[in-house]
Amino acid sequence: MLQPAVNIMVKAARAGGNVLLRNMHKLDALNVVEKARLDYASEVDGLAEEAIVKELRRAHPDYAILGEEGGAKPGRGGASRYTWVIDPLDGTSNYLRGFPHWCVSIALVEGGEPLHGVIFDPLRNELFTATRGAGAQLNERRIRVADRKDLSGAMIATGFAPRERKRAGAQLRAVDALLESAEDVRRAGSAALDLAYVAAGRCDAYFEAGVHPWDIAAGVLLVREAGGRISDFKGRATGPMNVAMAGGRPILASNVRLIEPLQQVLVSSGYAKEFD
């Protein structure tokens, strides 16, 4: 049975997802802005976030909000120990091209740590949920990270964030090193879904730099509750999930066996050093 807060988040995620689905047939007419080089947002992102916030505010007007489009907003009455962290459309570039890999991501964060997380893929009607200490589910069925014992044959997801292009050479060296053992490296274009797929065992690991809390807060909890590990490229904590660091942050997710071998490759290839 889902927690009451998760039920609220699911309702909000479905409301945002419905906005995205309704607008799919008019992509050519959408107003698109370039927030930064190669980093796009459309009016649909904003409309979806409005629908999500409306549902969340109706249930808990006193909670703060950190959204990709709307930024940080205090709760009614001022400071709150709880923050809704929202990405109304993770995978905007995919969505605008009709590439079917994007989602809605919502987390409830307490003191910087995710307490509940929801990732909703409207196209596949796949609903990933997690509650701290209570496990992770896909459409209310328990999920676990893959049980791969080493990098041999591993399927690894990554991303090439536009804000990280200056470090692309170092990242490609890391990819080259990983491919000496791994089966493949995939780049699908949605950090939230990449983390959900690690939690569900569809990918063995995921790493990316330049991500923000709204990209990863829900997915971080999913991976942890599915038995996985989360760190930066050197094994350190990734920082509070209710604070947007300038330029984003690096993240690595996998099962407990792969996390250290992956860190070793990211360090030995020189990629991890780029973030010192």
> Per residue in 105-154, pLDDT tens?
999 999 999 999 999 999 999 999 999 999 999 999 999 999 999 999 99
User: Which tokens belong to 19?
Assistant: 């906005």
Q: What CA–CA distances, in Å, run from 189 to 14, 127, 181, 211?
A: 21, 18, 23, 12
Which residue did the predictor score with more confidence, 182 or 26?
182
Confidence category of residue 88, pLDDT binned at 50, 70, 90: very high
d(CA 45, CA 91): 10
Average pLDDT estimate for 67-95: 87
Question: To 5 degrees, how large is the angle CA 91–CA 104–CA 36?
Answer: 40
Class of domain 155-275: alpha beta
Cβ burial 58-79 (10 Å sphere, 16+ → b, else e):
eebeebbbbbbbbeeeebeeee
Which residue did the predictor score with more confidence, 29 or 66?
66
Q: What is the DSSP letter of 28?
A: G
Task: Tell me what percent of the residues of the chain surpass a pLDDT of 70.
Answer: 93
Confidence category of residue 26, pLDDT binned at 50, 70, 90: confident
Backbone angles phi, psi at 68, to 5 degrees: -60, -40
Average pLDDT estimate for 13-41: 72
Per the prediction, the chain carries an average pLDDT of 91
3-class DSSP state of 121:
strand
Over 70: is that where the pLDDT of 220 sits? yes
Q: H/E element holding 174?
A: helix 168-178
Strand ranges inside the chain, DSSP E: 32-36, 39-42, 64-67, 71-73, 82-90, 103-110, 113-121, 126-131, 135-138, 141-142, 155-158, 184-186, 205-211, 229-231, 249-254
4-142 is classed in which CATH architecture?
A: 2-Layer Sandwich (3.30)
Nearest alpha-carbon partner for 215 in 184, 183, 247, 237: 247
Over 70: is that where the pLDDT of 32 sits? no
Give pLDDT tens digits for 170-212.
999 999 999 999 999 999 999 999 999 999 999 999 999 999 9
Confidence category of residue 38, pLDDT binned at 50, 70, 90: very low
C-alpha 201: how far from chain center: 16
Residues 6 or more apart in contact with residue 205 via CB below 8 angstroms: 154, 156, 157, 198, 252, 253, 254, 255, 258, 262
**Domain coordinates of the chain in residue numbers?**
4-142, 155-275
Rg of the chain on CA atoms, in Å: 18
d(CA 154, CA 186): 11
